């Protein structure tokens, strides 16, 4: 099959290097199947795995989008489609994974004249997998025009015992028509409708309607692209049974077999775009930027390294390792190629080993390093060293290569998302980020203190002095709270005059911090009043019943709840406790720190 296809391409002629690369990929079957779990129910039991394909890491066809686009232009979509299925089925069986296998299939390949029926069934039989465990997932990249033919193809698969799914409903050309025409067993909702669903009422209503329709059609909905615990919780409340996303696990060559609610926020395997949590969520780590570029041993000859670079023009850096898989140095493409600019270089370096030509100056980072710290690290490094950096595991062994452009992209995306979720007045993280921080600290069994901060008599001040003066008061409070905290502490703005602190450490550390905040607040708050109001100790304003009453100067009520590693609470439980404590604090006149001593 490959030889015939090569002959046809040769007879047509082309000058596309991507097609030449595709020929090599098909001939060597150098594709890697990855598997991402699809989870079910509140306990996130694994329902199945979606098989995803990646080209060689050092190839321009690494991206599946580029890979399939090139195959379509080259007229070999069927060959690529069948190769992907074969590799995914073989690897799924080899790993002994449980549940359903979701196989991505391009609808156009089913309609090609040279498509061979029954091949998938033969592959499954050879692997020892029943068709009843396989879901054919139709992935739409171009519009479907012949629905009669497509219905026939779907009926053919169903007749052999397969189930059928439609991918990315809402993102393609006519997803709702696909749903009506093909009547799939599963429909996957595009991530656009899932992202921030917990904070977007229109998306929540849309998904609620889709779930209602799916129940009437006996079709199961899978929500894709879940990245935050808020999205997960909202979808569960809507009754969405099946979910998929980086919150649970990332695509991996050898995926997780079991998940639970304690580890769903942990990063997974590298090589894919990382999840993008809100400010204050579990930090993205360097490991998520890792691209596995096959390393070389220190005793490899220089011509072998030169060959690697020439075969993969996009390859910029190769790590050189010792016998224990620890990095000794790097080979950079420009440096190595410059060695061979001289015509005598080939004979000069023909028998040299990499030990003699590698650069032992490099940036090496632990895969667990947060992206914020990594950004500071590469900023401080010499410019010549930071285009790529070497990522190692916690034992110092080679993990992969990171690229500065990937780091910049993720940092920028994180900053944009942080700005979007921040309070528009103070710029502090909002309610969503606060809940994530609390959930993270609880999941990691950390010792910390949660402190609810609320201004007393702020509404009266805002009514009398106006919203501009009120905003200045809130900004001053936000600055003061931030200035009294240190690295590792968190300051959030719930909205209005309500703030939240998450302070590292036990009561012995946190209580003095809060007392210092109250003392400073009481010193500066009189400066926000006119002299006559300061002298009489307050202002006259209407209460909520419309009566004119005297309101004292603003004061600060703080409710402090210590949390120990043995605390069995959820973020929601903690929020409820803090609301109760705040009520107790506000019963006292003047600025008050109310400490929960029940634990």
Q: What is the pLDDT of residues 9-42, one digit of tens each?
A: 433 455 678 888 888 889 999 899 999 999 986 6
The residues, any chain, with a CB within 8 Å of residue 420's CB and separated by 6 or more, are none
CA–CA gap between residue 429 and residue 499 (Å, rounded)? 10
Both 130 and 170 in one domain: the answer is yes
In a domain, 168, yes or no: yes
Both 372 and 249 in one domain: the answer is no
Does the pTM surpass 0.85? The reply is no
Residue 488, phi-psi category: left (phi > 0), alpha (psi -120 to 50), beta (remainder)? left
Short-list 201, 203, 118, 109, CA closest to 157:
118
The pLDDT value recorded for residue 374 is 85
Locate tokens 């890491």: which residue? Answer: 57
Both 399 and 433 in one domain: the answer is no
| Alpha-carbon distances of 510 from 289, 485, 582, rounded to whole Å | 36, 10, 17
Both 96 and 120 in one domain: the answer is yes
> Is the model more confident about 483 or about 107?
483
In a domain, 565, yes or no: yes
In a domain, 271, yes or no: no
Both 442 and 345 in one domain: the answer is no
* DSSP states along 9-35: HHHH----HHHHHHHHHHHHT--EEEE
CA–CA gap between residue 405 and residue 408 (Å, rounded)? 5
Residue 546, phi-psi category: left (phi > 0), alpha (psi -120 to 50), beta (remainder)? left
On whether the CB atoms of residues 46 and 258 are closer than 8 A, the answer is: yes
Both 549 and 449 in one domain: the answer is yes
CA–CA gap between residue 559 and residue 581 (Å, rounded)? 5
Tens digit of pLDDT for each residue in 237-286? 788 889 999 888 889 999 988 876 554 543 333 333 333 333 333 346 78
Structural domain range at position 388: 296-411
Any idea what DSSP says for residue 382?
A: -
In a domain, 74, yes or no: yes
**pLDDT, average across residues 499-521:** 94
| Alpha-carbon distances of 44 from 38, 243, 276, rounded to whole Å | 9, 9, 20
The residues, any chain, with a CB within 8 Å of residue 104's CB and separated by 6 or more, are 50, 51, 52, 53, 84, 137, 139, 167
Which residues are bridge partners to 538 per DSSP?
Answer: 552
CATH number of the domain that 512 lies in?
Answer: 3.30.70.270
- Decide if pLDDT at 289 tops 70: yes
CATH number of the domain that 344 lies in?
Answer: 3.10.580.10
- Decide if pLDDT at 347 tops 80: no
In a domain, 270, yes or no: no
Both 250 and 123 in one domain: the answer is yes
How many domains are there within the chain? 3
CA–CA gap between residue 81 and residue 77 (Å, rounded)? 6
In a domain, 279, yes or no: no
CA–CA gap between residue 250 and residue 269 (Å, rounded)? 6
- Decide if pLDDT at 598 tops 80: no
């Amino acid at each position: 099959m490959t030889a015939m296809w090569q002959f046809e391409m040769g007879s047509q002629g082309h000058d596309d290097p991507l097609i030449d690369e595709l020929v090599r990929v098909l001939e060597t079957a150098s594709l890697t199947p990855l598997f991402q779990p699809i989870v079910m129910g509140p306990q996130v039991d694994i329902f199945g795995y979606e098989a995803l394909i990646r080209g060689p890491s050092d190839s321009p066809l690494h991206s599946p989008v580029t890979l399939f686009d090139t195959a379509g232009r080259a007229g070999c979509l069927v060959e690529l489609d069948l190769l992907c299925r074969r590799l995914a089925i073989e690897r799924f069986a080899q790993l002994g994974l449980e549940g359903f296998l979701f196989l991505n299939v391009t609808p156009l390949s089913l309609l090609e004249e040279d498509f061979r029926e029954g091949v998938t069934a033969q592959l499954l039989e050879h692997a020892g997998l029943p068709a009843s465990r396989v879901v054919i997932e139709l992935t739409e990249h171009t519009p479907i025009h012949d629905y009669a033919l497509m219905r026939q193809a779907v009926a053919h698969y169903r007749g052999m015992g397969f189930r059928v799914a439609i991918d990315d409903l809402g993102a393609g050309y006519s997803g709702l028509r696909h749903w009506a025409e093909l009547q799939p067993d599963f429909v996957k909702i595009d991530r656009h409708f899932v992202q921030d669903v917990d904070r977007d009422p229109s998306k929540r209503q849309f998904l609620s309607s889709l779930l209602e329709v799916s129940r009437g059609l006996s079709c199961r909905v899978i929500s894709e692209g879940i990245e935050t615990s808020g999205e997960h919780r909202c979808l569960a409340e809507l009754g969405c049974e099946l979910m998929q996303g980086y919150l649970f696990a990332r695509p991996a060559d050898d995926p997780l077999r079991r998940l639970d609610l304690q580890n769903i926020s942990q990063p997974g395997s590298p090589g894919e775009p990382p999840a993008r949590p809100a400010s204050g969520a579990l930090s993205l780590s360097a490991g998520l930027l890792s691209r596995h570029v096959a390393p070389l041993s220190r005793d490899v000859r220089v011509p072998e390294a030169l060959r690697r670079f020439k075969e993969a023009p996009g390859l910029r850096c190769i790590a050189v390792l010792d016998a224990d898989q620890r990095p000794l140095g790097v080979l950079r493409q420009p440096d190595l190629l410059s060695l061979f600019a001289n015509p005598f270089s080939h004979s000069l370096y023909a028998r040299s080993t990499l030990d003699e030509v590698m650069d032992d100056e490099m940036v090496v980072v632990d895969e667990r390093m947060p992206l914020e710290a990594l950004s500071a690290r590469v900023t401080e490094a010499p410019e010549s060293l930071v285009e790529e950096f070497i990522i190692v595991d916690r034992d110092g062994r080679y993990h992969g290569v990171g690229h500065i452009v990937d780091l910049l992209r993720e940092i920028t995306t994180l900053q944009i998302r942080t700005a979007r979720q921040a309070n528009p007045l103070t710029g502090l993280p909002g309610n969503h980020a606060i809940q994530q921080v609390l959930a993270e600290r609880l999941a990691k069994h950390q010792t910390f203190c949660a402190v609810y901060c609320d201004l007393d008599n702020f509404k009266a001040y805002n009514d009398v002095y106006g919203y501009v003066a009120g905003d200045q008061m809130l900004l001053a409070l936000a600055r003061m709270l931030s200035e009294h905290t240190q690295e590792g502490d968190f300051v959030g703005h719930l909205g209005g005059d309500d703030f939240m602190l998450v302070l590292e450490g036990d009561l012995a550390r946190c209580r003095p911090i809060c007392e210092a905040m109250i003392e400073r607040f009481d010193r500066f708050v009189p400066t926000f009043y006119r002299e006559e109001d300061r002298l009489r100790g307050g202002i006259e304003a209407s209460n909520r019943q419309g009566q004119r009453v005297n309101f004292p100067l603003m004061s600060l009520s703080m409710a402090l709840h210590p949390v120990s590693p043995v605390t069995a609470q959820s973020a929601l439980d903690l929020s409820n406790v803090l609301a109760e404590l705040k009520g107790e604090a506000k019963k006292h006149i003047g600025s008050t720190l109310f400490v929960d001593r029940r634990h």
